A = this chain, B = another copy of it.
């Protein structure tokens, strides 16, 4: 049964699971503009803070931004940058079908394991999924909320350091729930907002458009405003790639306009 499945699902939490982290960065990290650089700088600063600080053994950051803006990939990337001996990626996906209690127990276990390592980094992806937040009601698991609040403020034992990286697309809800306040720092990642950003991404994707096509796109996209997450942009490029050569550019620009506002 479910509970049985649950027990068999638990894997040893110690040790780095680099493969798992890589799977969340399936299409790499493209430095499409300064918003990306700023997030990575802040991430690096917090990593060294965790290592060197004396008075603050617990550093916790929240990466928040619109859907598809690359939050999960950035969180996984920063965690890998830390090279801490204990790395753990927590996602509600692996706890599907667990009772609230089981989720809390597993989260508690992960943080207790993290406290056993000198330097640990725990990613908690999509807080809203852990909270089982639904806007109609609204409904959420207060049990999970209380557990996360306590775990995010639990200092590691003397001599140990812990970096927590959480992600969410619902900053306002976390603030209403009093969970946003638990973080030392909240980092915002914005959508891609200029034609230049888009061109930067296009230039980094192999085989996407021909030199000729790129010329056309540069003209069309220069000084234009868009509003699109990196994950959605990669999807649009992918769709355009399947189209016939002659429709490719037009289709891409059309769908960019449909999804991402006026180009």
Contact = CB atoms under 8 A, between A and B. Distances in A.
B105 A150 contact: no
Contacts of A149: 129
Contact of A55 (B5, B154, B238): B238
Interface string A88-102: 000011001100010
A23 B159 CA distance: 12
Given A54-B238, A134-B142, A176-B136, A92 B49 contact: no
Interface stretch (A76-84, A116-124, A177-185, A211-219): A177-185
Given A54-B238, A101-B97, A242-B49, A136 B129 contact: no
A52 interface: yes
Given A146-B134, A242-B52, A67 B97 contact: no
Between A67, A101, A134, A237, the greatest number of chain B beta carbons within 10 A of the residue's beta carbon is seen for A134
A41 interface: no
B136 A53 contact: no
A135 interface: yes
A33 to B, nearest CB: 20
Contacts of A49: 238-239, 242
Q: How many copies does the complex hold?
A: 6
Given A134-B142, A150-B129, A55 B234 contact: yes
A37 interface: no
Given A92-B150, A235-B56, A242-B53, A135 B97 contact: no
A251 to B, nearest CB: 11
A220 interface: no
Between A55, A138, A151, A235, the greatest number of chain B beta carbons within 10 A of the residue's beta carbon is seen for A55
Given A96-B147, A135-B177, 11 more contacts: A26-B55, A49-B242, A54-B238, A55-B234, A55-B238, A93-B150, A96-B108, A97-B101, A129-B149, A132-B142, A135-B178
Interface of A: 2, 5, 23, 26-27, 48-49, 52-56, 67, 92-93, 96-97, 101, 104-105, 108, 129, 132, 134-140, 142-143, 145-147, 149-151, 154-155, 158, 173, 176-178, 181, 184, 234-235, 237-239, 242
24 contacts: A5-B105, A26-B155, A49-B239, A53-B238, A53-B242, A55-B234, A56-B234, A56-B235, A56-B238, A67-B181, A92-B146, A96-B104, A96-B150, A97-B105, A97-B108, A129-B149, A129-B150, A134-B145, A134-B146, A134-B178, A136-B138, A136-B176, A136-B177, A137-B142
